[in-house]
Amino acid sequence: MADLLDGKALATRLQLELSEQVKTLAMRAGRPPGLAVLMVGDNPASAAYVRGKETACSRVGIASYGKHFPTDTSQAELKQVIQSLNQDDRVDGILVQLPLPDHLDAVALLNQIAPDKDADGLHPTNLGRLVRGEPGLRSCTPAGVMRLLADYQLDPKGQHAVVIGRSILVGKPLALMLLEANATVTIAHSRTADLAAVARTADILVTAIGQPKLVTPDMVKPGAIVVDVGINRITQTTGKSQLVGDVDFEAVYPVASWITPVPGGIGPMTVTMLLHNTVWSYCQRLNLAP
């Protein structure tokens, strides 16, 4: 039976440590770190995520400069807001909550964020720094995966890691981080021929493809480490909704050596790495030793 990779417990501990760090730094700097989360429209899932991020900011002492815009907000208006936040000395991190309404160009808006305030680590400059192995802001979810593995002393060095999913949010940056940690990395996706056979070769199997219970026991090498980044809301026969991952947890649990639950695995780590990025940017901008 697998052991649990408890992201929720680790996130709680890391946020407590960040809270103590922020108290000390704010006294030296004369202000706390600041994060601006921009949300457009009334997507209920996005609203819940934003509330969670703002609550976490409050918990660790980060000032929140969040802005909520109506669905019909124009590209030009949002561009102007981002440029204003780039110039605001109180703000160390800026995040645009995705997805955006269809009429908006998310990539163009993300590219407007000053790279050193890019709290989500998605600006081309920060992705380039990742490719080159240079210090910089890292994409939050992949960074959360790597921090969780490190805390449990699960070293990717020499291991074969298979990442199912190739998004710029998770799959691609995570593959680069695993390479940086000396894993041998395969990226698989929805068009991969015989996905089950590829998945079975993994010592570390990470799935971030957004398909409920896609990964079944026949796709998992016995003793593999299974990291489930997927979050999918399904409706049960009773009519109640339930959050599940991309992995069939109950079925895979007896096969793996380590596994993340959903919820309570990578989700809390994503928020924690967002806070970490904001504090890191704050320290860099104000030349503070963390």
The verdict on whether residue 64 carries a ligand-binding annotation is no
CATH homologous superfamily, domain 140-267: NAD(P)-binding Rossmann-like Domain (3.40.50.720)
DSSP 118: B
Q: Could you tell me which of 106, 113, 98, 151 has the C-alpha nearest to residue 35?
A: 113
Q: State pTM to two decimals.
A: 0.95
Annotated binding-site residue? 46: no
pLDDT at 233: 86
Residues across the chain? 290
- When pLDDT is cut at 50, 70 and 90, the band that residue 48 belongs to is confident
For 100-110, what is each residue's pLDDT tens digit?
A: 999 999 999 99
Give the tens place of pLDDT for each residue, 205-218: 999 999 999 999 99
70, pLDDT greater than 80: yes
Annotation-wise, does 166 bind a ligand?
Answer: yes
- Three-class DSSP category at 216: coil
Architecture (CATH level 2) of domain 30-114: 3-Layer(aba) Sandwich (3.40)
Q: What is the pLDDT of residue 43?
A: 87
Burial string for 134-156 (b: 16+ CB within 10 Å, else e) reads eebbbbbbbbbbbbbbebeebeb
Q: At residue 252, does pLDDT exceed 80? A: yes
Residue 290 has pLDDT above 80, yes or no: no
Percent pLDDT > 90 in the chain is 92
Residues acting as catalytic residues: 53, 97, 120
Q: Where are the domains of the chain?
A: 30-114, 140-267
User: 168: annotated binding-site residue?
Assistant: no
